[in-house]
Structure 1
Amino acid sequence: MSRTAKLALAFVLAIGSLHSPLRADEFTVDPSHTSVIFGISHLGYSFTYGRFNKVSGEFTLDPAKPDAASFTLAIDAASIDTNDAKRDDHLRGPDFLNTGEFPVISFKSNKVVVEKKDDATIYVVSGELTMHGVTKPVTLNLQKLGEGPGPTGQGFHTGFNCQTKLNRSEWGMTKMVPHIGDEVAVTISLEGSRK
């Protein structure tokens, strides 16, 4: 191949690389920087708060096609923690989560719409939430909080925050309603590291 042909080929390859589509970024949920917290009414006198200590998942973000994003989460139902061992055992039992039969609470997205509100970027994530053996559609509004390198300058991280409300009776957990509230307030703070 002549020198001119080699230069022409190099030029074509360089131009082609400029127009190649950006790859979607795949992230693994960082469990040490991810929280799933809930609050529920107790007799209408107070709110009891708790969390799930074991959360995993993945999400994909495509800078070229933001609406092609996807999110999955898996929560170890038995990792529920309300700072009261006796109550936590009751919540794991058949009156509530029944973790022996339904050990995982899972969410999988099937549609994402990205919206801009003032300075905020909101991922409106529709999907299916499976809990207590029941699968129902839910929509989560994930506000993108930020992205960038980790504290040591290595890796790349992206984080979201979400607040929503669920009625536990819709997933077959009706025990002690209304003394223990039906509506559960849920906060998800989610951080992932790029693979």
Structure 2
Amino acid sequence: MLKKSLLALAVSSIGIMSLPTLANTYEIDTKGAHASINFAVKHLGYSWLTGRFDTFSGQFTYDPAKPEASTVNVTIDTTSVNSNHAERDKHLRSPDFLNVEKFPKATFVSTKIVLDDDNDEFNIVGDLTLNGVTKSITIEVDKVGEGKDPWGGYRAGFEGETEINMKDFNIKMDLGPASQTVKLELHVEGIKK
């Protein structure tokens, strides 16, 4: 009887040890302003116009032992575009650019993660929906760090960048060939749920 109990305990322990680890879910910390979605585009090829989206939300899953199983889901309020110039922002919200009256939200949903040289560098491939158009984009990501915070929580942070072509997302305004590409720079800090 004792042998059977020990055998059952050993088998169940092996079964538990062989279960896959589950990725943790993180809420992007926009309330604490520890995340940002920034953009830059050349203005007529003479200088850089920079800005950001002030309002967005999302979450990601992440397991440092298996980063390729991670997922990302972000929703951006396109009406919150902010280039630090009220008249320009009004134009950016118009049908010439973001057409926010018709498409007040943009979304990004990951479809796969491709590891680079190590587990702290990878590419996130996913679907960006902007101005009513959905296209696959690739974001190059570096892990910044992770660990406990002073308030008893646990955080993980990443930075990423990508480029998109405005015409791919049916943005009509044409400021010349130097202004067709938008650089996106992302800083994301998540709080483990």
TM-score by length of 2: 0.88
Deviation at 1:36, TM superposition (A): 0.7
Judged with a 3 Å threshold, the aligned counterparts in structure 2 of structure 1 residues 63 and 85 are, in CA distance, closer, same or farther, namely same
Q: Which residue number in structure 2 is paired with residue 171 of structure 1?
A: 169
Per mean C-alpha deviation after superposition, the further-off stretch among 157-166 and 174-183 is 174-183
1:6-85 residue pairs with structure 2 within 5 A? 13-14=12-13, 16-31=15-30, 32-85=33-86
Rounded to whole Å, the distance in 2 between the matches of 1:113 and 1:180 is: 30
User: Is contact 2:44–2:175 with CA below 8 Å preserved after alignment?
Assistant: no
- Give 5+ residue unaligned stretches, structure 1: none
CA–CA distance in 1 between the matches of 2:18 and 2:71? Answer: 24
CA distance in 2 between counterparts of 1:115 and 1:46 reads 33
Partner of 1:156: 154
Corresponding position: 1:194 with 2:192: yes
* Residue identity matched to 2:38: I
Cα 1:9–1:111 change in 2 (3 A) is same
Mapped to 2, the partners of 1:22 and 1:63 lie a distance apart of 10
User: Cα distance, 1:27 vs. partner?
Assistant: 1.1
Give CA-to-partner distance per residue, 1:33-75, whole Å, 9 cap, x none: 1111111111222111100001211111234533211111111
Q: What is the CA-CA distance between 1:11 and the residue it aligns to?
A: 5.9
- 8 Å CA contact retained: 1:21, 1:64: no
Deviation, 1:16, is 4.4
Aligned-partner Cα distance in 2 for 1:186–1:158: 20
Question: What's the offset of the Cα at 1:110?
Answer: 0.8
Equivalent pairs, count? 191
What 5-or-longer segments of structure 2 have no aligned partner?
Answer: none
For residues 109-128 of structure 1, what are the structure 2 equivalents within 5 Å?
A: 109-116=110-117, 121-128=120-127
What's the secondary structure of 1:67's corresponding residue?
A: helix
How many angstroms does 1:115 deviate by? 2.1
1:17-39, Cα deviation, whole Å (9 max, x unpaired): 43433222111111121111111
Q: Secondary structure at the match of 2:117?
A: strand
Q: CA deviation at 1:13?
A: 4.9
Percent identity reads 37
Whole-Å separation in 1 of the counterparts to 2:64 and 2:46: 47
- In the alignment, which residue of structure 2 is the partner of 1:138? 137
- SS, match of residue 97 in structure 1: coil
| Of 165-174 and 129-138, the range deviating more from structure 2 | 165-174
Structure 1 consecutive aligned stretches of length 4 or more whose deviation exceeds 4 Å: 2-16
Amino acid at match of 2:192: R
Tell me the SS of whatever aligns to 2:185. strand
Q: Normalising by the residue count of structure 1, what TM-score does the alignment of the two structures yield?
A: 0.87
Q: Retained in 2: the 8 A contact 1:124–1:140?
A: yes
Is the CA contact (8 Å cut-off) linking 2:144 and 2:159 kept in structure 1?
A: yes
- Root-mean-square deviation (CA, aligned residues, Å) is 2.2
